[in-house]
Structure 1
Amino acid sequence: MPITNWSTAGGDLRVPHFIGLHSVQVFVLAVLVLTALAPGSAGCAANACAPS
């Protein structure tokens, strides 16, 4: 591929590494956003802001 210089013939491990690594980052971001938007969370994740 001209822009990324990834091999299209196979054997290039950068492609699955890129997809796997960034999919994990997207998953973490989605969890943070959904936690912040959850009803009654007030922006606190996993009771981190619960009164003691």
Structure 2
Amino acid sequence: MSGKNDLLVIRRGLPIPSNLGGNWRKRKRTVRSVSEEIREDVEKRGYHWRKLASQIR
């Protein structure tokens, strides 16, 4: 499921959800703010996932 241009956002310290599997690269980044859409997804599902390639166009 994880591709080179996919984005997965999870809360700090939580493992990658098992239903997303795949080979996710872990990048430690300090984020000061996120969009309301991402914040709501993380609160409801525990993660936010999207394909970045479709967002660029």
Higher strand content, 1 or 2:
2
Q: Which TM-score band applies after superposition, normalised by the shorter structure?
A: under 0.3
Higher helix content, 1 or 2:
1
- Quick check: which has more Rg, 1 or 2? 1
